[in-house]
Amino acid sequence: MNENTKSIEDGLKSLIEQTYLIEKEYKILGESYANLQKFTQGIVESLGASLWTINSAGEVVLSNEKAKQIMEILPSINMQKSTQEVEFQGRVYAIKITHSMQNQIILATDITDEKRSARLVSMGAVAAHLSHEIRNPIGSISLLTSTLLKRIDDRNRPLIEEIKKAIYRVERIIKATLLFTKGVQINISEIELNKLQDMCKEAIGQYAFSKDIEFEFSGFDGIIRGDANLLDLVFSNFIFNAIDAIEESDDDSGVVSIEHKFENGMHNFYISDSGVKLPSGAIFEPFKTTKLKGNGLGLALSLEIINAHKGSVAVQNEPKLFTISLP
């Protein structure tokens, strides 16, 4: 083997070794790039917001899972404004747009709950002020009506009784509003369930309705620990909602059933009615109602009271049933 041949072989051997080395480095570099991509995607996915990166051609080159779920929001975003709020599918999003090289980075944060909380605080303040202003004249009207009821003849008595029922409704709305704005504080004592039943029946007698409604109570024996006045308010609210559901139905009559069972260490109350079905959406949201009458506070306040008693409320629509569970 001459010197030239050996030199060529050495050169080829060196070239092959360098090729293997480059291939190995390329493989390491590829793995590092893949790990970097995975790390970057992990950061993007961990964001509490939807994120898109859009190139100069208007194509989405990067997005997280949250963003993929609301891709249809993009046409509603003004790409010329760096900050804005956009409503989409009943939610409110705070949009922030930044630029990196030739790309636009869009961040959409769901602020629906924050907006709702701010609105509730504002509405609660107004409602509390109105309730304080209305309470005194309503108290005077109630007192005058009770006095008038003792003096009128029997022919006009039904008219005054209807006025008293209307005043009772207004007084309940005022009480619920003030409770909601001040916060619920419970005073625990032992309550006989038959007394709670009597309180519910008394409330029914004060409530105005036009249809023939049958009220069925069962299992109201024994003792429960709780705040009697607040639990009376809770059960009355659920019963009144049942009455209103029957009033809104096409039937001339209806049935409201309230059943108590002690099961697995819990007092379970099952409330059902033959009225219209429950509306879709959040039925416990304050100041939101689909009923013809009411201010949307009854169920929201009831849930707050049940939570304060460390209980729970379950809802189903087929068949229509509310289950109140109290320890």
Tens of pLDDT, residue by residue over 144-169, are 777 777 777 777 777 777 777 777 76
Burial class (CB in 10 A: 0-12, 13-18, 19+), 254: buried
SS3 24: helix
Kindly give the residue spans of alpha helices, DSSP state H, lying in 152-212.
157-182, 193-206
* Tens digit of each residue's pLDDT (9 = 90 or more) over 187-206: 888 888 888 888 888 888 87
pLDDT at 253 (0 to 100): 87
Class of domain 185-327: alpha beta
Burial class (CB in 10 A: 0-12, 13-18, 19+), 183: exposed
What CATH topology corresponds to 3-113? Answer: Beta-Lactamase (3.30.450)
Give the number of other Cβ atoms within 10 Å of residue 142's Cβ. Answer: 16
Contact 327, 265 (CB under 8 A): yes
For residues 33 and 243, give the distance between their C-alpha atoms in angstroms, rounded to a whole number: 66
* Tens digit of each residue's pLDDT (9 = 90 or more) over 262-287: 888 888 999 888 888 877 655 666 55
Contact 31, 90 (CB under 8 A): no
pLDDT at 6 (0 to 100): 67
Nearest Cα neighbor of 239 from 214, 221, 266, 263 is 214
Nearest Cα neighbor of 322 from 262, 247, 208, 237 is 237
For residues 86 and 93, give the distance between their C-alpha atoms in angstroms, rounded to a whole number: 5
Lowest mean pLDDT segment, chosen from 32-46, 58-72, 250-264 = 32-46
What CATH topology corresponds to 115-183? Answer: Helix Hairpins (1.10.287)
Percent of the chain's residues with pLDDT above 90:
1
Q: CB within 8 A of 216, min separation 6: which ones?
A: 255, 256, 257, 258, 259
Q: How many helices and strands in the chain, by DSSP H and E?
A: 7, 12
Q: CB within 8 A of 29, min separation 6: which ones?
A: none
- Which one is predicted more confidently, 86 or 23? 86
Separation of first and last alpha carbons in the chain: 98
Q: CB within 8 A of 76, min separation 6: which ones?
A: 86, 88
Q: Where are the domains of the chain?
A: 3-113, 115-183, 185-327
For 244, 259, 297, 306, 321, the CA distances from 324, given in Å and listed in that order, are 19, 10, 17, 8, 10
**CA 85, chain centre distance (Å):** 21
Q: What is the dihedral of CA 303, 306, 310, 312, to 10 degrees?
A: -60
Contact 305, 186 (CB under 8 A): yes
Residue 222's φ and ψ, nearest 5 degrees, are: 100, -170
For residues 195 and 2, give the distance between their C-alpha atoms in angstroms, rounded to a whole number: 117
* Tens digit of each residue's pLDDT (9 = 90 or more) over 54-111: 888 888 888 888 888 888 888 888 888 888 888 888 888 888 888 877 888 888 888 8
For residues 121 and 246, give the distance between their C-alpha atoms in angstroms, rounded to a whole number: 33
For 10, 85, 91, 282, the CA distances from 7, given in Å and listed in that order, are 5, 72, 74, 84
